[in-house]
Structure 1
Amino acid sequence: MRARIFAVAALALFLAATAHAQVARQDVFWARSTGGAAITLDGLLNEPAWAQAESLKIRWQQDTGIPGSGYKAEGGILPVDPTRATIKFLTVGNRLYMAAIVPDSSIGGSEEFNRFDGILMQFKDKTVVGAHPAPPAEFLYSWWYPGTSQNPRAVNKLPGFVGKWGNFPPDTARTPTQIDNWNAVTVVTGITNADGISPADSTDKRWVVEMMFNLEGVGYDITDADGDIVAFNLSLYDCDWFWTNPLSFFFSVNRTWWQGPWGNSAGYNSVRLFARPNVTIASGAVPVVAPELIVPNAGNYPVPAIDGQLNDQVWSHAPHFDIRYGDDANFATYPGLGPVLSGQYQPVIAGNQAFIGDPADATVYYFVRDDSLFLGFDVRDQFVQYSLDENLYDGFRVSLNEYTLHDLVDHVLQGRRLTFQVGPTGQAKTLDYLTTMQDTSGTARVRLFLKPGTVVDNPPQALDNGYQAELVVNLRGLGYPAGLGERRLHWGITHIDGDQFSAPEDTYGARAWWFREYDSTSGPVWAHLSATQFVTGVGDGDPTPAGPSLALLGSHPNPFKFGTAVRFSLPREADVRLDVYDLQGRHVSRVAGGRLAAGPQQLQVLGQSWRSGVYLYRLRMIDPATGVELASANGRMLKVN
Structure 2
Amino acid sequence: MQRFATLSVLGLLLAGTAIAQPDRVGQDVMWARDIGSATIAVDGNLDEAVWAQAETYTIAWDGVHPLPGSGQSIRDNPAGLDAPLDPTNATVYFLRKGNELYLGLQAQDASIGGDRGFFVGDGLMMTLVRPLDRPATFTDRDDYFESSAVREEMFYGWQHPSDTTATGGQVPGIAPKAWSTDFGYTAGDMMSATPRSPEAWEFAAVVDGVANDDYNGGSSFVADNGYTFEMRIRLDSLGWDLTQPMARMPLTMSIMDRDFSWPIDAERFMRHWTWWQGRWFNNFNEGMAFIAGDPSVTVSSGPVPAYTEPEFTVPSGMNTPAPTIDGGLDEPVWSLVDPQFKIKYQATAEELDAGLPGAAAPNYTFYFHPDANPVLDPTEGRFHMYYRENMLYIGLDTDDQAVNGSESENTRDGFRFTIAARDSLKDGLGGSLAGVQFDFSVDSTGTARLGNYAATLAEENPSAIMAGVSMKNGSTPADPSDIDAGYQMEVAIDLTALGFPANLDDEQIYIALNYFDGDSLEDDAQSYGTRTWVIGERNNGASLYGLLSSSALVNTASDRGPESDGLRALGTAPNPATDRTQVRFSLDRTAEVTVEVFDVLGRLVQTIDGGAQVAGERAITVDTAGLSTGAYIYRVRLDDGAAVTGRMMVVR
Match of 2:105 in 1: 100
The separation in 1 between residues aligned to 2:509 and 2:108, in whole angstroms, is 35
Q: Deviations over 1:222-247 (max 9, x none)?
A: 34x437422211111000011115x4
Q: Encode CA deviations 1:234-281: one digit per residue, 9 max, x unaligned.
A: 111000011115x43111011112112222344333212112333111
1:162-187 CA distance string (max 9 Å, x none): 22322332232424x52222121111
- In structure 2, how many angstroms separate the alpha carbons of the residues matched to 1:227 and 1:199? 54
1:348 aligns with 2:370: yes
Letter of the 1:51 counterpart: A
* CA pair 144-505 structure 1, distance change in 2 beyond 3 A: farther
1:223-238 matches, within 5 Å, as 223=243, 225-226=244-245, 228-238=247-257
Distance 2:364 2:214 in 1: 46
Q: Which residue of 2 aligns with 1:121?
A: 126
Say whether residues 1:21 and 2:20 are aligned partners. Answer: yes
Aligned in 2, Cα 1:295/1:265: closer, same or farther, shift over 3 Å? closer
How many residues of Structure 1 are paired with residues of Structure 2 in the alignment? Answer: 522
Give a deviation string over 1:293-323, Cα, whole Å, max 9, x none: 2322112112111111111122221232322
Give the corresponding residue for 2:72.
71
- Which residue identity does 1:451 align to in structure 2? K
Please, which of 400, 404, 424 is the counterpart of residue 419 of structure 2?
Answer: 400
- Separation in 2 of the partners of 1:376 and 1:478? 20
In 2: Cα distance, 1:96 partner to 1:139 partner? 14
Residues in 1 aligned to 2:525 and 2:247: alpha-carbon distance in whole angstroms: 44
Equivalent residue number for residue 85 of structure 2: 80
Residues 428-481 of structure 1 show CA distances to partners (whole Å, capped at 9, x for unaligned) of: 0100111122221231111111223211225x1111111111111111111012
Give TM-score scaled by structure 1 length. 0.76
The CA distance in 1 between the partners of 2:219 and 2:512, in whole Å, is 46
Q: Give percent identity, aligned residues only.
A: 31
Write the deviation string for residues 490-512 of structure 1: whole angstroms up to 9, x where unpaired: 22322111113354552221122
Judged with a 3 Å threshold, the aligned counterparts in structure 2 of structure 1 residues 348 and 16 are, in CA distance, closer, same or farther, namely farther
Within 2, Cα distance between the matches of 1:403 and 1:233?
21
**CA shift for structure 1 position 128:** 1.0
1:276 counterpart residue number: 294
CA shift digits 1:184-237 (9 cap, x unpaired):
1111111111124999932311111111112122122234x4374222111110
Aligned partner of residue 50 in structure 1, secondary structure: helix
Higher deviation after alignment, 76-85 or 326-335: 326-335
Q: Under a length normalisation based on structure 2, what TM-score does the superposition of the two structures give?
A: 0.75
Of the structure 1 ranges 212-221 and 154-163, higher mean CA displacement relative to structure 2 is found in 212-221
Amino acid at match of 2:547: H
Alignment of 1:165-564 (within 5 A): 165-167=184-186, 168-175=188-195, 178-196=197-215, 201-223=221-243, 225-226=244-245, 228-244=247-263, 247-290=265-308, 291-321=310-340, 322-328=342-348, 329-333=350-354, 334-349=356-371, 352=372, 354-411=373-430, 412-442=432-462, 443-457=464-478, 460-484=480-504, 487-501=507-521, 503=523, 505-521=525-541, 524-537=543-556
Q: Contact 1:19/1:532 (CA < 8 Å) preserved in 2?
A: no
Deviation of the 1:79 alpha carbon:
1.3
Conserved in 1, the CA contact under 8 Å of 2:206 and 2:227? yes
Aligned mates of 2:285, 2:416 — CA distance in 1 = 17
In 2, Cα distance between equivalents of 1:16 and 1:493: 39
Q: One-letter code of the match for 1:208?
A: T
State the AA in 2 paired with 1:53: A
Give 3-state SS (helix, strand or coil) of 1:140's partner: strand
CA contact (8 A) 2:440 2:450 kept: yes
Of structures 1 and 2, the one with the larger relative CO (CA 8 A, separation 6+) is: 2
Write the mapping of 1:132-147 to structure 2, written as runs, cut at 5 A.
Answer: 135-146=150-161
SS at match of 1:79: coil
CA distance in 1, matches of 2:509, 2:261: 42
Instruction: Pick closer, same or farther for the CA change 1:18–1:480 going to 2, 3 Å.
Output: farther
Kindly provide the amino acid, as one letter, of the partner of residue 447 in structure 1. G
> How far, CA to CA, are the matches of 1:339 and 1:484 in structure 2?
24
Q: What letter is aligned with 1:257?
A: W
Give the Cα separation in 1 of the matches to 2:53 and 2:227: 21
Are 2:173 and 1:156 aligned?
Answer: yes
1:159 partner amino acid: P
- Cα distance change, pair 342–18 in 1 and its aligned pair in 2 (3 A): farther
1:538 shift after superposition: 7.0
| Partner SS, residue 434 of structure 1 | helix
Secondary structure of the residue that 1:127 maps to in structure 2?
A: helix
- DSSP-derived class of the 2:198 partner: helix
Q: Find the aligned partners of 1:200 and 1:226 in 2 and give their Cα distance.
A: 55
SS at match of 1:303: coil
Q: CA deviation at 1:150?
A: 6.7
Moved over 6 A (4+): 14-17, 197-200
| RMSD between superposed Cα atoms in Å | 2.9
Q: 3-state DSSP class of the match of 2:224?
A: coil
User: Could you say if the C-alpha distance between residues 199 and 436 of structure 1 is closer, same or farther in structure 2, counting changes exceeding 3 Å?
Assistant: farther
